[in-house]
Structures are given as C-alpha cells and as structure tokens.
C-alpha cells in the first residue's frame, strides 16, 4: 500500500485563545504557532505525530499568507510543494477543498487523512493509525478521504 497523504489545516486565526497566546508569545500569533504546553508549537507537535503515520514528503500544510511570519521558521525544511498557502482564512471547508485540489494537481490518487485541529494537544505522541488503517483497508480499491 502506498503512503497516504496528510493535510494539516493550520490557517485558523486562534481568536478564542488570543489572550493566552499573547501572554505566552508576546504577540498576536494563532495558537497553532504557539508553544502552549512544551517547547514545540502545537503545529510542530501535530506534524511530528503525523510523521508517525506517513512520510514527511506526503504531508501538505494548509496555511494562510497573513501568518507567514509565524509558520515560515517552522516550515523552512519543507519543500514548497508541501505547502498550500491560502490568500486568506475562509474557514475549514474551503481549506480542506484548497488542500485536496492541490493534492489532485500534484499527486496520484490515494488515501488522504485530514488533521484539522493542530491547536489541540494530544498527551502522548501516537499516530491515529488504527482508524486510518481500517478505513484504508475498506477503500483499498479506490481513493478515499478519511
């Protein structure tokens, strides 16, 4: 089975936690680009967990241009083809569509896992492999979005 693609949706503005992230980082950064509970940002923690599921070259980060100063240092080692930079934040559904359209243009059909909450922390770094593996087995004959 080929390695699945993963979309990490990291374009949210983080307005609900703005007072906390302002206190931690000293600026207006969205929570996914803030080191809330460790030395890593929530985005870095998510990316690290996703690499337990798929190869780093099969991770597409969907970000927003306005947040470039926050994500650029975190994605310095990521090829530009693995970044989908939205002109502005239009919400979750458009971000998913934008990422999937980017994958259609650059990758052969195959399974895709979508990680829509890099701002949520997971206590232990374990991949979401069981659910993805069973879903992938069910749809092995065709492409699937999980």
Spatial separation of the C-alpha atoms in residues 5 and 107, rounded to whole Å: 9
Q: Tell me, yes or no, whether 146 lies in a domain.
A: no
Q: Tell me, yes or no, whether 144 lies in a domain.
A: no
Q: Tell me, yes or no, whether 105 lies in a domain.
A: yes
CATH number for the domain spanning 21: value is: 3.90.550.10
Give residue 2's pLDDT: 72
Q: Tell me, yes or no, whether 56 lies in a domain.
A: yes
Q: Tell me, yes or no, whether 127 lies in a domain.
A: yes
Average pLDDT over residues 35-50: 92
Question: What does the angle CA 129 – CA 47 – CA 71 come to, to the nearest 5 degrees?
Answer: 160
Residue 58 and residue 5 in contact, taking contact as beta carbons nearer than 8 Å = yes
> How would residue 113 be classed by pLDDT, with cut points 50, 70 and 90?
confident
pLDDT tens string 87-98? 999 999 999 999
Whole-angstrom CA distances from 41 to 87, 104, 111 are: 23, 29, 27
Spatial separation of the C-alpha atoms in residues 69 and 108, rounded to whole Å: 31
Give residue 119's pLDDT: 52
Lowest mean pLDDT segment, chosen from 12-21, 61-70, 72-81, 106-115? 106-115
> pTM for the full model?
0.79
Q: Tell me, yes or no, whether 145 lies in a domain.
A: no
pLDDT at residue 74 greater than cutoff 90:
yes
Domain count, the chain: 1
Give residue 139's pLDDT: 41
Write out the residue range of the structural domain in which residue 123 sits: 5-138
Tally helices (H) and strands (E) across the chain.
5, 4
Give 3's contacts (C-beta < 8 A, 6+ positions apart): 54, 55, 58
The pair of three-digit structure tokens given for residue 56, joined into one six-digit string? 């780093």
Q: In 61-128, where does DSSP find H-type helix?
A: 68-71, 92-106
Give residue 109's pLDDT: 83
pLDDT at residue 66 greater than cutoff 50:
yes
Tell me which H or E stretch contains 141.
Answer: none
Distance of CA 72 to the CA centre of its chain: 14
- Strands 83-86 and 112-115, how do they pair? unpaired
Question: What does the angle CA 47 – CA 49 – CA 52 come to, to the nearest 5 degrees?
Answer: 110
Greater pLDDT, 41 or 124: 41
Q: Tell me, yes or no, whether 73 lies in a domain.
A: yes
Instruction: Identify any residues that bridge with 8 across adjacent strands, giving them in sequence order.
Output: 61, 115
């Amino acid at each position: 089975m080929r390695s699945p693609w993963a979309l990490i949706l990291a374009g949210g503005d983080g307005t609900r936690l703005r007072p906390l992230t302002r206190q931690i980082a000293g600026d207006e950064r969205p929570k996914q680009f803030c080191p809330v509970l460790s030395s890593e940002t929530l985005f870095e923690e998510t990316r690290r967990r996703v690499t337990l599921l798929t190869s780093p070259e099969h991770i597409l980060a969907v970000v927003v241009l306005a947040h470039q100063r926050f994500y650029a240092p975190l994605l310095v080692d990521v090829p530009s083809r693995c970044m989908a930079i939205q002109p502005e934040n239009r919400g979750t559904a458009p971000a998913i569509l934008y990422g999937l359209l980017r994958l259609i243009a650059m990758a052969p059909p195959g399974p895709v896992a979508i990680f829509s909450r890099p701002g949520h922390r997971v206590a232990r770094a374990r991949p979401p492999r069981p659910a993805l593996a069973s879903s992938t087995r069910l749809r092995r004959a065709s492409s699937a979005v999980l």
